[in-house]
Amino acid sequence: MPQSAEKVLDHAGLFKEPEYQEIFERKKAQFEGGCGADKVREVADWTRTMEYREINFKREALVINPAKACQPLGAVLCASGFEGTLPYVHGSQGCVAYFRSHFNRHFKEPCSAVSDSMTEDAAVFGGLNNMVDGLANAHALYKPKMIAVSTTCMAEVIGDDLDGFIKIAKQKGSIPEDFRVPFAHTPSFVGSHVTGYDNMLKGFLTSFWDGKTRAETTAPAININGGFDGYCVANNRELKRMMKEMGVEATIISDPSEVFDTPTDGEFRMYAGGTTAAQMEAALDARGTVFMQGISAAKSAEYVEKAGQKAVSLHCPVGVTGTDAFLMAVSELTGQAIPASLELERGRLVDAIADSQAHLHGKRFALFGDPDMLLGLTAFLLELGAEPVHILCTNATKDWTEKINALLAASPFGKDAKAWPGKDLWHLRSLLATEPVDFLIGSSHGKYLERDIGTPLIRIGFPIFDRHHHHRFPIWGYQGGLNVLVKILDKIFDTLDAKTTDSASFDLVR
Amino acid sequence: MSAVLDDKTRNKALINEVLEVYPEKAAKKRAKHLNVYEEGKPDCGVKSNIKSLPGVMTIRGCAYAGSKGVVWGPIKDMVHVSHGPVGCGQYSWATRRNYYNGTTGVDAFGAMQITSDFQEKDIVFGGDKKLDKLVDEITQVFPLAKGISVQSECPIGLIGDDIEAVSKKKSKEVGLPMVPVRCEGFRGVSQSLGHHIANDAIRDWVFDKADYNAPFESTPYDVVLMADYNIGGDAWSSRILLEEMGLRVIGQGTGDATLKEIEMMPRAKLLLLHCYRSMNYIARHVEEKYGVPWFEYNLFGPTKIAESLRGIAAFFDDSIKEKAEQVIAKYTALSQAVIDKYKPRLAGKKVMLYVGGLRPRHVVGAYEDLGMEVCGTGYEFGHGDDYQRTTHYVKDGTLIYDDVTSFELEKFAEKIRPDLMASGVKEKYIFQKMGIPFRQMHSWDYSGPYHGYDGFAIFARDMDMAINSPVWGMTKAPWKK
Ligand code: SF4
Ligand code: SF4
């Protein structure tokens, strides 16, 4: 009997025991009707060939393991970043259950969002009644300061009109007339989660800024938006810290850094922190808005510019040059100098890179993730002397492809690289099998690639489900660069140790 | 006043308290879903399987989750296409922990997200052509796939696609079974209708296409273990007991199942059903059409395990009955050692449950084996028959909450202050913040298996580590005490 009370074996150990192995063998041989181990091995080997790669890349309809999610997920993240705001998704309820659990698994935190639970009758008659009752119920139970409405694909396919519905709900007394309900249509069959984030953000900006006249402040005040960022908890804090060092008054527009990082002290806080309504109003007068993920914030940036404000689009400042560009942009907007303290941090990051560069130089990487994140990470790899090889972006835009190609062309370390817009992780599997690299950077979903192909995975991206607390450490700014550097180096050294355990090269000092 | 009366009064007051906060119309509706169980009553006195109210933060999911996530998704040698936009399949990608053996992407397709990734043009012009092409591509990239299922997401039923016609045509063309499932998320009120639709699809597209006249070497001891999704290996730690008692498990599902094993249901002498809620439909069909009896069993905790093994053995001859006793005897020492170790640490602890369609009752016995007490329970998507069956498990005065809202559950827990909250990932972090120990009871919180004797040891260990973790002693800063 493999189990005992003294040493309890769970799934990780239990099923390796002979009693279970026998069961597996018997089940397979007698009842499963499979094609036998030899055939499976043969096909598995074939899936790693060039021939398979060609078949795989011919796919036009079938998508396998994409690295993207749908629009309303982004809308929920964006809405979570405003003070006292309840994300509300108009449409079928299953989606919201999924959005919430997706964020639960990534942040290991609660995620509050409601659905108005449209069902078959709403499919026929439209979801107006759901909106009328839903807003009333949500308002009564969860006492939000704002409700931010987005849509599931059901509501989009039947063509529900959010603006009209919200107005009617107000007329019917579901919520007070002056209650603020920013909204955005977020069809899941267009773009990805970053598109939905952008749409919702624009919804907030529109709600607060439309019809207002702008009077630019003389104070060194700017807005910063992080975009759909799995590291928002730590990154936003890091941004605030850097801005304080510079003497810049920065409003983070959509700041979920508190709500996704509340303490365990006996109290559940459904709402915590977030951009306030007052901040949003004042934000119109700021000197400009910096979008940390510019490609994914195209619509919001356009709106900001229309409102008469400067919009600066960056692409995830991971590392030295990215952070340099960020700070210089802020300095230019505000007239504030970059202080010695930040320059010191910069020097320390450069120092760390210099110490480790020999281990990084020429190492070949594959990466997948969101568009701006890939630009930021690629830029960092290039400045480390590493060589990005496959850069795969399922939710790429034309803009991304142009930018990443320009970035690669500008560095000798980018000459072997190829950008793969619109491809999925099954494509990446073929790339890794036929043109191997040393390391892979991406979300937890990359672990299957690591298992199948053997390329060590460095977890940077969204979602990170199978490692804890990574999101509590920033990846932006010089400090963030240091964190990313250490993540990469740890994997490099672990891999080297594993490779050299049986040899003289198992060095104590590396 | 006795403690039970005390609890009853408090629970009734609690229900009133939460109802007061709702708008009138909603309060009336929610009142029907909340109750305090009265001993001797034939059910729990709540309405169920009714639409969730808009805007209340129901914990429920949708029919797609019930079909793709629960019933079909775990069938490992088939490719399950999440048909529609990318989201649904992305969020349900490998998060349920229905374990399987096999080479993923080669002869097994479980921990994968395979989708038609609808774009605007597919919504406007329909997705049937895309589906047609996608099937060809599946046969090219996954030559060992034994079948394909089409798991409909919301848009499919709204844009008038004919996935049945495409399935029939392509099935012939490529020579693989192809199963269209109309589990669009807007159908029904929860995952539950998705289970039902998925069951019907097994009936119509698997059984009705299989040839049960083909020769098959049967034995008098053939059983199929169904409606066990092998979360963390549950079905395996169940199967081991069935085999030890001399039964031949000719099929297992849908956790770690192959399509062939699903086809075995009508061939069995007895169909064993763990999750009644999600597969009773097909069990009833198999009974009616093929004359195979079915039995709902429960492998949580030694008391229920012994009861169930005896219940199963009762369908067979004395040799099986004897072996069942031997199995029970064989594991008694293990169970006793587990109880001896953990009961002193857990006795008297109060648990609140809120799970899907089965566990709100099925796990009660396992807690009681450890001396714990369930003081509140409810189903995300149970039906009337579930609440009837629940009366066999719960005590007088238990708080019952059907399709509970996040608001209600939080308020209940705040007042009751259970020693353990056992629910899902969406609830986990809420209650931990409140300082209430928590275990996820859908995914076993990344642990398991919990079924069978081997699983009970893990269950006990996990409940102990949740409740007796030193972390709960640190939630208040000492200078504030
Ligand atoms: S793709 Fe559509 S149905 Fe699926 S989760 Fe996204 S919005 Fe919901
Ligand atoms: S055991 Fe519960 S959670 Fe699992 S499938 Fe059945 S109803 Fe769903």
**10-residue block means of pLDDT along chain A (510 residues)?**
96 98 98 96 98 98 98 98 98 97 98 97 95 98 98 96 98 98 98 98 98 96 98 98 98 98 97 98 98 97 98 97 98 98 98 98 98 98 98 98 98 97 98 98 98 98 98 98 98 98 96
* Cα–Cα–Cα angle for B394, B353, B190, rounded to 5 degrees: 105
Q: Any CB–CB contact under 8 A between B155 and chain A?
A: yes
Q: Which residues of chain A make contact with B437, given a CB cutoff of 8 A?
A: none
Tokens found for residue B385 = 């028959």
**What tokens does B347 get?**
């006795």
Q: Is A47 near chain B, with CB under 8 Å?
A: yes
- Contact between B267 and B86 under an 8 Å Cβ cutoff? The reply is no
CB count in 10 Å sphere of residue A361: 12
The alpha carbon of residue A36 is apart from the nearest alpha carbon of chain B, in Å, by 10
Question: Is the bond preceding B449 in cis, omega lying within 30 degrees of 0?
Answer: yes
Nearest-angstrom CA–CA distance, B19 and A253: 36
Q: Assess whether pLDDT exceeds 70 at residue B1.
A: no
Tokens in use for A468?
A: 């804890």
By C-alpha distance, the chain A residue nearest B408 is A141
| Alpha carbons A387 and A438: distance in angstroms, whole number | 10
3-state SS of chain B?
A: CCHHHHHHHHHHHHHHHHHHHCCHHHHHHHHCCEEECCCCCCCCCCCCCCCCCCCCCECCCCHHHHHHHHHHCCCCCEEEEEECCCHHHHHCCCCCCECCCCCECCCECCCCCEECCCCHHHHHHCCHHHHHHHHHHHHHHCCCCCEEEEEECHHHHHCCCCHHHHHHHHHHHHCCCEEEECCCCCCCCCHHHHHHHHHHHHHHHCHHHCCCCCCCCCCCCEEEEEEECCECCHHHHHHHHHHHCCCEEEEEEECCCCHHHHHCHHHCCEEEECCHHHHHHHHHHHHHHHCCCEEECCCCCHHHHHHHHHHHHCCCCHHHHHHHHHHHHHHHHHHHHHHHHHHHHHCCCEEEECECCCHHHHCHHHHHHCCCEEEEECECCCCHHHHHHHCCCCCCCCEEECCCEHHHHHHHHHHHCCCEEEECHHHHHHHHHCCCCEEECCCHHHCCCCCHHHHHHHHHHHHHHHHCCHHHHHCCCHHHC
pLDDT value for B463: 98
User: Is A161 touching B (CB cutoff 8 A)?
Assistant: no
Separation in Å, CA of B41 to nearest CA in chain A: 32
pLDDT for B480: 86
Query: What backbone torsions phi and psi does residue B177 show, to the nearest 5 degrees?
Result: -60, 140
- Chain B within 8 Å of A39 (Cβ-Cβ)? yes
Interface of A with B in 446-465 (CB under 8 A): 448, 452, 465
Nearest chain B Cα distance for residue A297, angstroms: 20
Across the interface, whether the CB atoms of A73 and B85 are under 8 A apart is answered no
Task: Closest CB to B137: pick one of A24, A61, A139.
Answer: A61
3-class DSSP state of A152: coil
Residue range B212-223: average pLDDT?
Answer: 96
At residue A30, the pLDDT reads 97
Q: Which residue of B has its CA nearest to A427?
A: B141
Rounded distance between C-alpha atoms, residue A290 and residue A334, angstroms: 12
Q: Given CA atoms A335, A341, A343, A349 in this order, what sign does their dihedral have?
A: negative
The pLDDT value given to residue B3: 76
- Rounded to 10 deg, the angle between the A477-500 and A371-383 helix axes is 70
Query: Rounded mean pLDDT of B264-289?
Result: 97
Q: How far apart are CA A401 and CA A493, in angstroms?
A: 32
Helix B24-31 × helix B3-21 angle, to 10°: 150
**Closest Cβ opposite residue B91 in set A24, A102, A141:** A102
Q: Which of residues 476-495 of A touch B (CB under 8 A)?
A: none
Scanning the structure block, which residue is given the tokens 């590493």?
A386
Task: Please confirm, yes or no, whether B248 is among the known catalytic residues.
Answer: no
When CB atoms are compared, the residue of B62, B65, B107 closest to A34 is B107
Q: What is the rounded average pLDDT for all residues in chain B?
A: 97
Query: Alpha-carbon distance A244 to A233, whole Å?
Result: 17
Query: B85, A101: Cβ pair inside 8 Å?
Result: no
Contacts of B68 (CB under 8 A, 6+ apart): B80, B82, B88, B89, B92, B151, B181, B183, B194
Q: Does the structure show a pLDDT above 80 at B2?
A: no
Ligand 1, CB cutoff 6 Å, lining residues: A 70, 72, 95, 98, 152-153, 188; B 85, 87-88, 153-154, 185
For chain B, percent of residues with pLDDT exceeding 90: 98
User: For residue range B21-56, what is the model confidence (pLDDT) as tens digits?
Assistant: 999 999 999 999 999 999 999 999 999 999 999 999
pLDDT in tens, B171-214: 999 999 999 999 999 999 999 999 999 999 999 999 999 999 99
- By percentage, how much of chain B surpasses pLDDT 70? 100
Mean pLDDT of the B148-177 span? 97
State which ligand 2 atom lies nearest to the alpha carbon of B70. Answer: 5
Q: Is B96 a catalytic residue?
A: yes
pLDDT digits 0-9 by tens, B416-426: 999 999 999 99
Element (H, E) at A89: strand A85-90
Q: Taking the mean position of all CA atoms in its chain, how far away is CA A488?
A: 19
Question: Is the per-residue pLDDT at B280 higher than 90?
Answer: yes
Ligand 1 midpoint to CA B321 (Å) = 50
Q: Is A140 on the interface with B (CB under 8 A)?
A: yes
Q: Answer yes or no: is pLDDT of B8 > 80.
A: yes
* Alpha carbon distance B476, A65 (integer Å): 44
In the prediction, which pLDDT does B481 show?
65
Q: Which of ligand 2's atoms lies nearest the C-alpha of B362?
A: 1
Of chain B residues 191-230, which have a CB less than 8 A from chain A?
191
Judged by a CB distance cut-off of 8 A, whether residue B126 touches chain A is no
- Is the pLDDT reported for residue B4 higher than 90? no
